[in-house]
Structure formats: structure tokens, C-alpha cells
Structure 1
Amino acid sequence: MQRTLQLCTMKNHINIKYVKNLNNDALRAVEFYIQELNILQERLQEVATDNTAREVQEKVEHFQNQFSIHHEYLNKLKEDIQANDQEIEAELLITGNVISENVAAGHGRLHENYITEEKIFNDLRHEFYRFAAEWM
């Protein structure tokens, strides 16, 4: 049996399975990016160890800062997605098939935040690969 997730306005119908899949996909991707950050950090450390020039060390510091910012943001995003998932489940237990517009809007914002972070992260990763290729 397929349940339908509905906004309180009843104007829009969203498939619960679709929302859950979006959350699960985002959580898996966030975990992947966190692991990727650890790998990038190791490579950055190799570059820093092998190259002591001021120019290189400045870029190393830049990437360390960016990796730290993204690590914190990804952990927060993961927590927010899990919390949204729990809010959806809690409302569905009470209403059966309707969630508040607020929770649905929260899901939409989180998904947009995830898409934005994914793009920024991939840009950063490519920037780092270009840097590492030059100095490794």
C-alpha cells in the first residue's frame, strides 16, 4: 500500500516514499562527503609536508579552513535531515497521511541546502585536485 503525504492545504500531494528516498539519498551523500573530506585532508597533509614554500602553505591553510567549514556544515545538515525525517514520521503517526506545511517547507529547504552544498563541495574538491596536482 502506497501512502500519500499531503500538505495541510490539501492542494499538493507528495509521495511519502519519494520524500523518504530524498532524505535517505541525501544522508548517504552527506556521509560520503564527510569520508571524502577525510581523504582530502590526508592528501592536503602530504602536500603540506612535502612543500614548505610560503605560497603552498597559504593554500594549505585555505583548504584546511574550507575542509573544516564543510565538515561542520555537513554534520549539521545530516542532523537537520534526520530531524526533519523524525518530524515527518511523528506527524504521520498522529494524522495518518497529512503533515504540516511547515514540516513540508522545512523538507524543501533542507533539500535545497543539500543541493547547494553538493555543488559547492564539488567545486572545492576540483579546486583542491588542481592544487594537489601542481604541488604533489
Structure 2
Amino acid sequence: MKTDVLYNSNMHFEHELWKGELDFWKDELKSFNNRLSELVTRWTDKDVLAQLEHYQNEFVLHGSVIEDLEEVIEEHETRIEGQSIEGEDAIDMPLAKKHIEFRNRIETQREIYSKLKKEFFRFLEKYM
């Protein structure tokens, strides 16, 4: 049975990739909110406005999730940095376990965000 080892350098590299992805999501959310602002000025229909509010709430919620994910990454980075300063080569098993759990959380969030974007694009096609 093969056991994968999570080295600090590999976890750091993955953190950097995730931070870039989260930054991209934040930029997208800004663009999506700009689209919502445009639509609010075009529509007075209560059903359309209710959908706009729904997406606005979803984008706020997703923004909060992004902030939470960024905080966890920073906590992991601080722990890795602490080990590097102390010159520890030992594998931090609790951190490695948290990293794998976090990877799963990121993957789940990707799916949720992707679904939200698809729904929003369909909405834009209909009302833009």
C-alpha cells in the first residue's frame, strides 16, 4: 500500500494555487455584482427583482466563504512557517490531515461556485 507524503513545500505550493483561485473568484464576484447593478436599473418586474436579490445574496455568501477559506490557508501557512523557522523536518500529521480535508472543501466549493455561475449566466442570457 502506497502512502502519499505531504511535504511543507508541496502544501505551500497548493496554498498558493488556491489563493490565486480565490482571488480570481473575488474578481468574478465584482463583475457579477456590476451586472446585477445594471439589471436593477432595467427591470421593475417583482419576479426579476427577487431573482436579482437571490443572486446578490448568493454572491455575498460566496464572498464570505472565500474569506473563510483564505483565513484557513493563512493559518496553515503560519504553522508551516513556524516549522521552517524551528528547522523541523518531521511531518506534522494533524496539519497534513487538515490539509487533505481542506483540499476536499476547496473541491466542493469549486462545484458549488461553478453551479452558481452556470445558473447566473442562464439568468443573464434571459434578462440582459
Q: Same fold (TM over 0.5)?
A: yes
Unmatched segments (≥5 aa) in structure 2: none
1:61-81: CA deviation from partner (whole Å, max 9, x where unpaired): 110110000001101111111
Identity %: 25
Q: Does 1:63 align with 2:80?
A: no
**Which residue of structure 2 lines up, in the alignment, with residue 84 of structure 1?**
76
Q: Does 1:52 align with 2:44?
A: yes
Question: How far apart are 1:49 and its partner, in Å?
Answer: 1.4
CA distance in 1, matches of 2:4, 2:124: 48
**Which residue of structure 1 lines up, in the alignment, with residue 24 of structure 2?**
32
Higher helix share: 2
Q: Does 1:100 align with 2:100?
A: no
After superposition, residues 121-132 of structure 1 pair within 5 angstroms as 121-132=113-124
Question: How far apart are 1:95 and its partner, in Å?
Answer: 5.1
What is the number of residues matched between the two proteins?
Answer: 126
CA distance in 2, matches of 1:67, 1:56: 17
Please, what is the CA RMSD of the aligned residues?
Answer: 1.5
Query: What TM-score comes out, normalization by structure 2 length?
Result: 0.90
**Which residue of structure 2 lines up, in the alignment, with residue 115 of structure 1?**
107
Runs of 4+ in 1 over 3 A off after TM superposition: none
8 Å Cα contact 1:20/1:85 also seen in 2: yes
CA distance in 1, matches of 2:24, 2:124: 21
8 Å Cα contact 2:8/2:80 also seen in 1: no
8 Å Cα contact 1:48/1:60 also seen in 2: yes
Question: How far apart are 1:57 and its partner, in Å?
Answer: 0.7
After superposition, residues 6-45 of structure 1 pair within 5 angstroms as 13-45=5-37
8 Å Cα contact 1:44/1:60 also seen in 2: yes
DSSP 3-state at the match of 2:6:
strand
The one-letter code of the counterpart of 1:18 is N
Query: What TM-score comes out, normalization by structure 1 length?
Result: 0.85
Higher strand share: 1
